[in-house]
Structure 1
C-alpha cells in the first residue's frame, strides 16, 4: 500500500446530508467509504506493480489475482455504501428524472481522482508534461465535488431519482457462486500475538501451548500453506482482505482436522491491515494481544547489539507492526516479571466468568450446633470486612453433607484481597479457639488474582469445580468471577497430584498404626479418586469411590470397611478390626500402581 497517500475528503453538501443519518448508518457509511478509498489505493499500487518488466509469469499471475480480488471488493463496498446513501433520497417522487449513476459511483470516481492528483503531483517533480496536467485535474475535482453536491441536493428534495445500485459484476467462472468465508464451527478461539522484536511473542505463545493446550501456528506458515494450495507465488502481494481470507481458510482446516483443540495461537502479527481484516471476519473468536516493552528492555533480553534489534524493528514497522497496538483487544506491558505476564495470559486464554453460587448457612450443612455456631461467627466476622472478602465456603464433606464428627475436617476456603488477609488470619485464630478441639480446621486463603491467573493447586481446582456444581457457600460478594474448571482440567490435575499422594501414602504405610489409621484411609480414598478421574469416573463419597476403584483393570477388589465403620472405630479407639483391612488395601493399591508404571 502506498505510504502517506491522501485521505478522501467529501464535498460539504454530501457531508451535511450524511450528518442527518442515524449514528449507526453514519458509522457504517464512514467505515465503508474509508475502506473503498483504501481498496482504490491498493488497486492503483497493484496495477503499477504488474507493469514491472522484471516480474516473472507467476508474479504477474499473482498480481492479476489481486487486481480481481480488489475489484470485487471495490464493487461490494460501493454497493454497501449505496445501501446507506440511498436512504437520503425522497422516495415519493417516482416521476423525477433518473440520474445516470448512484451516489457511491460518484464517490468512487472522486476517490480515484484524488489518488490521480496525488500521484501526478509526485510524478510532476520529475516530468514537465505531468506537472502541466495538475491544474486541470484539480479543476476536475472541484467540478466533480460541485456536481455531487448538486446531485445530493436534488436527490434529497426528490427532484432526481437514483438508479438501482446493484452492479451484478462477475469474477471468475459463471458456475462458481462466491461466498464469504466464515469461521468453522470447530474454530472456537484464536489468540494472535503481535509486537516488535524481542517483545515476548514466542515466549507467550509457547506458554499458552504448554499450560493451556493450545495449537501454536505461525502466520507465515499458514500463508505458505495457502499459497501452495491456491497456486500462488507470493501471498504477501495479495490484498489485506485476501490474505485474511487465506489465513482463516487454513485455520478452519486445522480446526476441522483437530476437533478437540479449543484454542489456537498465531504469530507473528506484523501487518496491521491484514489482521484488521481477519478480525472483521472472525469477530470475538479472534483476540489480538500486543506485547509492549521498551527498546532498552528488548535489547537486554535479546543478547544482541542494539543496532540488530533496531534493524528488525524497522522491517516490522514498515509492515505496520507497531500499529497493531491500536487494533489489539489486549495490550500487555512485558517490561516486568514473567509471573505478571503469565497471569495476564491466563486471564486472556481462560477468562473468569460470573458464577451463580448457592448460599447456605452453617446450620444447613449437617454440622453439630457448637461447630455451626462457631462457623457462623467466623462468617459474620469476615463479612464485616466488606468487599475485600469475596467468598467463604466449607468444601469437602461439609459441602457434600457427609460431615462426621470426630473424623471429618473443616476444609475452609476463603477468597480475599491481599490487603485484608491479615484480618482474616485473626478471625481464623478466633474460629479455631471457638472450635475448642471439636474439629480440625484446614483453611485455604487465596486472593482473587491468584484464581483468575489460575495459580491453582489440584485440590483448590476441585473445590472450585464443586462450587460450580452447586455446592453451597457461606458468603459471596456480588458479581464474583471465578475461573471455570472443566472435568478435563481436573483429570490433568489428578495426573499432577497423584505422585505426591502416592509418596505420602507409602510413608504412612511404613508408619501404619492406630495413630495413622485416619490419614492412611483418607489417602487411600484420595488416591483412588484421582485414579478414577483419569478414567473419567466421578463417584461421590468414599464408599462408592473404593467400590469403583476395585473394578479398575488388573486391581484385585479392595476389601475395606465402610466409612461409617472406619470412622466409628477411630472415634471409639478400637482401630484394630479396621486397621488391618485398610493396610491390606493400601498394599494392594501400591503394588498395582508400581506394576502399572513398570509396564
Structure 2
C-alpha cells in the first residue's frame, strides 16, 4: 500500500461483534481484513500507474497482470473474511429477509472509501473540486459505518440473512484459474539472507554453500528468470504477494531439477513485504537470517567511502531492507569475529537433532573387570558435576564391541561446557591412576558449542554418526542434542582426512620396526576405511575393512594377517612375525594411492 496511507478503522458495532469470536478466528479475521485493505491500496496505486502517458506497451501489460492478480487476491481475502464473519449470524431464522451483500463486501467498500478520502484530502491542496468533495466523502463514510453496524446487529439477531459469500470469480480462460502455489516436496529448506550494504550476506551464503552443500541463488536472478518465463517487463512493479509467488515458483523449479540438494540460500532480501509473503507461502521451510553490523564497521569492510555505503543503504532502506530484521527468524550481530559468524551460520544451516542415544554401563562393553570398574568410577565422577558435562562415551573398539586387551586403546569422548573442563581433567587423572597401565587412555574433550557450530575433525564427525546409529554412551544429559552427520557429509570428511592419514602412514613406514607395528597396522586399516567411504562402502572391523579394500578398482588383494594374529604377536613380543606382511600391504596401498592421483 502507498506509504503513510491510512489504516482501516472499523465501526464500533462490528468491532464489538468481532471481539466475541474465538481468539484463533479473531486473529484470522484481523489478518484477512488488514491484507484486504493493503491489497486495495496496491490496486489504487497500480491503476494510477497504468494511466501514465509515458508507459511502454510492456509496462502497461505488466500493470494489467498485476491488477488481475490483485483483484483475484482481493476476492479471495473477502471470501476468507466472510467465512469467519458468517459465524456472527443467527442461523435459526431461515425466513429472515435476505440482504443484498455480505459483511465482507461492505468492509471492502469501507476500505475503498477510506482510501478515496485520503487521496481526496491529499489532492485538495491543488484541486478545488477535490476539496469540495472531501466533506461529502466523510459523510458517506459515516453513513456506511452506521449501515454496517445496523446490518451486523440485524444479522446477529436473526432479522437479516446474508447471501452465500462465494464470489466464483474467474480470471483468465475458463478452467485455467491459478491455484495457490505451494512449496515443492523437494524444496526442503531455504535460508534467505538480508541486511544493509556490506553486512556479510554474500560471505555468509558462500560459507553455507561451501560447508553445507547449499545451492546459492540471488533473489534478483530468480525474479528475472520468472519475469522472462511469464512475459513480464518489470517484476518489481508487481505486488509483494505476486513477487513471492514468482520466487517460490522458481525455487520449486530449481528444487525439482536438483533433487539431491537439501538446502538453498537466497540473497539479498531487500523487501520486507515480499519476504513476509514468501514466509506465509513456505512456513518453516524458509528461514530468514538478518545480518546486522554498525555503519562504521560496514564502511571499513567495504573498502569504499562512507558516502558510497550510505547511498547504497538509502536505496535498500527505501525498499524496506532495514525492516526485514523485525521479520527475521535469526538476527546475527556481525560485528564480531569470522569464527563467531560461522558458528552462528552452522547452527542455523545444520541444527542439532533430538536423538535417542543408547546408554550402557562399562560392564556391557566387553572390557576387563578392572578397566570396566575404573571407567564406571570416572563416569560417576563426571556425572556428579551436573549439566556441565553433557555426554561421555567410549568410542572405537569398545563402542564396536571388539576390545582386545593389550592392543586396544580406550578412546574416550567427553562433551562438556568449557567451564567444566578443569573438573574433567581432575577426573581423568584419577581415571589413569585407576587403570594402572591396563589400557592406554586417549581422551577427546569437546564443548557443546563446538558441536553445534560443527567445528569438528572428520574422525569426530564419524564418532557422532556412530552414536546416532546406536553405538552406546556411558552418560548423556537430559535434552542433549547432537548435530546430524549424513553419509554424504562423512564421505566428504573422509576426503579431507585421507591425506593426513596417508602422510602419517608413509612416515611410519619409513621407520617401520617391531615398535611401530601397532601404529602402522591401525593406520593401514584407517586409510582403507576412509577410502572405502569415498566409494560409498561402509564396513566395520579391521578384517572386513581390509577384505573389502581389496575390491577397490585397480587394487589387488591386500594380504594381511587377521587382527587376532597381529594383536597376539604384538602382545607376545613377536611383532617380527607379522611386520613383513603388514609392511607389504602398506607399500601396496601407497603405490595404488599414488597411481590413482597421478591418473
Shorter-chain TM-score bucket reads over 0.9
1:138, distance to aligned residue in structure 2 (A) = 0.6
Q: Which secondary structure state, in structure 1, belongs to the residue aligned with residue 268 of structure 2?
A: strand
Q: Which secondary structure state, in structure 2, belongs to the residue aligned with residue 259 of structure 1?
A: coil
1:76, distance to aligned residue in structure 2 (A) = 0.5
**Paired position in structure 1 for 2:186:** 186
1:326, distance to aligned residue in structure 2 (A) = 1.2
**Paired position in structure 1 for 2:361:** 361
Q: 2: CA distance between counterparts of 1:71 and 1:420?
A: 62
Where do residues 258-407 of structure 1 align in structure 2 (5 Å cutoff)? 258-407=258-407
Q: 1: CA distance between counterparts of 2:429 and 2:191?
A: 45
**Paired position in structure 2 for 1:210:** 210
**Paired position in structure 1 for 2:222:** 222
**Paired position in structure 1 for 2:514:** 514
Q: 2: CA distance between counterparts of 1:551 and 1:222?
A: 46
Where do residues 410-425 of structure 1 align in structure 2 (5 Å cutoff)? 410-425=410-425
Q: Which secondary structure state, in structure 2, belongs to the residue aligned with residue 108 of structure 1?
A: helix
The runs of at least 4 consecutive aligned structure 1 residues that moved more than 6 Å come to none
Q: 2: CA distance between counterparts of 1:429 and 1:587?
A: 39
1:287, distance to aligned residue in structure 2 (A) = 0.6
**Paired position in structure 1 for 2:575:** 575
Q: 2: CA distance between counterparts of 1:391 and 1:289?
A: 30
Q: Which secondary structure state, in structure 2, belongs to the residue aligned with residue 273 of structure 1?
A: helix
1:303, distance to aligned residue in structure 2 (A) = 1.7
Contact between 2:171 and 2:177, CA under 8 Å: does it hold in 1? no
**Paired position in structure 2 for 1:11:** 11
1:300, distance to aligned residue in structure 2 (A) = 1.4
Is 1:250 matched with 2:275? no
**Paired position in structure 2 for 1:466:** 466
Q: 1: CA distance between counterparts of 2:238 and 2:437?
A: 75
**Paired position in structure 1 for 2:543:** 543
For 1:340-380, what per-residue CA distance to the aligned partner results, in whole angstroms no more than 9, with x for missing partners? 11101001111101111111111111000111111111111
Q: Which secondary structure state, in structure 1, belongs to the residue aligned with residue 32 of structure 2?
A: helix
1:181, distance to aligned residue in structure 2 (A) = 1.1
For 1:29-81, what per-residue CA distance to the aligned partner results, in whole angstroms no more than 9, with x for missing partners? 00000000000000000000000000000000000000000000000000000
Is 1:155 matched with 2:164? no
Q: Which secondary structure state, in structure 2, belongs to the residue aligned with residue 307 of structure 1?
A: helix
TM-score for the superposition, normalised by structure 1? 0.99
**Paired position in structure 1 for 2:426:** 426
1:577, distance to aligned residue in structure 2 (A) = 1.5
Where do residues 161-172 of structure 1 align in structure 2 (5 Å cutoff)? 161-172=161-172
1:9, distance to aligned residue in structure 2 (A) = 0.6
Q: 2: CA distance between counterparts of 1:252 and 1:119?
A: 40
**Paired position in structure 1 for 2:111:** 111
**Paired position in structure 1 for 2:553:** 553
Q: 1: CA distance between counterparts of 2:395 and 2:409?
A: 10
Q: Which secondary structure state, in structure 2, belongs to the residue aligned with residue 482 of structure 1?
A: coil
Query: Which stretch shows the higher mean deviation, 329-338 or 565-574?
Result: 329-338
For 1:193-214, what per-residue CA distance to the aligned partner results, in whole angstroms no more than 9, with x for missing partners? 0111111111101111111111
Where do residues 464-503 of structure 1 align in structure 2 (5 Å cutoff)? 464-503=464-503
Q: 2: CA distance between counterparts of 1:574 and 1:170?
A: 89
Q: 1: CA distance between counterparts of 2:385 and 2:171?
A: 68
Q: 1: CA distance between counterparts of 2:158 and 2:199?
A: 58
Contact between 2:170 and 2:177, CA under 8 Å: does it hold in 1? no
Q: 1: CA distance between counterparts of 2:259 and 2:361?
A: 44
For 1:490-517, what per-residue CA distance to the aligned partner results, in whole angstroms no more than 9, with x for missing partners? 1001000000000000000000000000
**Paired position in structure 2 for 1:126:** 126
RMSD of the TM alignment (CA)? 0.7
Q: 1: CA distance between counterparts of 2:111 and 2:318?
A: 25
Q: 1: CA distance between counterparts of 2:341 and 2:128?
A: 58
Q: Which secondary structure state, in structure 2, belongs to the residue aligned with residue 393 of structure 1?
A: strand
1:175, distance to aligned residue in structure 2 (A) = 3.4
Q: 1: CA distance between counterparts of 2:481 and 2:522?
A: 31
Q: 1: CA distance between counterparts of 2:308 and 2:141?
A: 47
**Paired position in structure 1 for 2:595:** 595
For 1:381-429, what per-residue CA distance to the aligned partner results, in whole angstroms no more than 9, with x for missing partners? 1111000000000001001110000000000000000111011011111
Q: Which secondary structure state, in structure 1, belongs to the residue aligned with residue 10 of structure 2?
A: coil
Q: Which secondary structure state, in structure 1, belongs to the residue aligned with residue 143 of structure 2?
A: helix
**Paired position in structure 1 for 2:235:** 235
Q: 1: CA distance between counterparts of 2:163 and 2:175?
A: 28
Q: 2: CA distance between counterparts of 1:458 and 1:437?
A: 29
Query: Which stretch shows the higher mean deviation, 297-306 or 85-94?
Result: 297-306
Q: 2: CA distance between counterparts of 1:145 and 1:121?
A: 20
Q: Unaligned 5+ residue runs, structure 2?
A: none
Where do residues 73-84 of structure 1 align in structure 2 (5 Å cutoff)? 73-84=73-84
Q: 2: CA distance between counterparts of 1:199 and 1:146?
A: 52
Q: Which secondary structure state, in structure 2, belongs to the residue aligned with residue 192 of structure 1?
A: strand
1:483, distance to aligned residue in structure 2 (A) = 0.1
Where do residues 20-35 of structure 1 align in structure 2 (5 Å cutoff)? 20-35=20-35
1:177, distance to aligned residue in structure 2 (A) = 3.6
Q: Which secondary structure state, in structure 2, belongs to the residue aligned with residue 421 of structure 1?
A: helix
1:295, distance to aligned residue in structure 2 (A) = 1.2
